[in-house]
Amino acid sequence: MKHEPTSWRLLEKRVVLETEWASVQCNRYATPDDRIVPDYLIIRRRPFVLVVAEESDKVILLRQYRPATDRIYTALPAGFIDSGENAIQAAARELLEETGFRGHSFTEVGVLDPLPGYILSPAHVVRCRFLPGGVPSDPDGEVRDVFLLPWTSILDEIRNGGINEMQAVAALLLVNAFHSREAIGV
């Protein structure tokens, strides 16, 4: 079901901001009909993981502050993949740091491209089981609360807007789709 669109041609690329967390490029493109698209901003960030840690019917969720919207969201444990790490290693580290829970049986279930029109930052969705556990050691102080929620409540929360952080919704629905396939033996 892949459709290959006619590509834009990159005419010019210049980095206008670079930090340890992200870079911003200002690109100029030509469309297939030779229209020029000036000043198209592309944000590049390191790849990151989203961790769906579950046991029985419950999933670990967080209440986490997000500076861009100045709001607290129901979210998943998540974070950047550090240099020298793979997605599974990063998932284990982030789960422990943000929740205090240790995971096992890690599986990468997919890679998502959040807002690919202007952000390059692949999101590796990792599913695991968790052991009864501890206390978060979140050094940034973003995590407000760690709690367990059953899958039926998670799906209700997504439907009613209680879980509306896009990356959490996408990762949860992807893992839920795997549950559906496993239930019917596919």
| Threshold 0.85, pTM exceeds | yes
Pairing assessment for the beta strands 48-55 and 78-80 based on DSSP bridges:
antiparallel
pLDDT at 145: 87
* Tokens (6 digits) for 181: 């396939």
Q: Which two tokens stand for residue 36?
A: 């020029």
Average pLDDT over residues 29-52: 95
Residue 18 pLDDT > 90: yes
Distance of CA 141 to the CA centre of its chain: 19
Give the model confidence (pLDDT) of 115-151 as tens digits: 999 999 999 999 999 987 665 555 556 667 899 999 9
Q: What is the pLDDT of residues 176-186, one digit of tens each?
A: 998 766 655 54
pLDDT exceeds cutoff 70 at 1: no
3-state helix, strand, coil in the chain (%, to 5): 20, 45, 35
Query: How much is the pLDDT for 186?
Result: 47
Q: Under a CB-based contact definition with an 8 Å cutoff, are residues 29 and 9 in contact?
A: yes
Model pLDDT for residues 65-91, shown as the tens digit of each residue: 899 999 999 999 999 999 999 999 999
Going 75 to 143 to 47 to 117, the CA torsion angle's sign is: positive
Taking the mean position of all CA atoms in its chain, how far away is CA 36? 32
**Distance between CA atoms of residues 36 and 9, nearest Å:** 10
Give the Cα separation of 99 and 78 in Å (integer): 10
The string of pLDDT tens digits covering residues 148-168 is 999 999 999 999 999 999 999
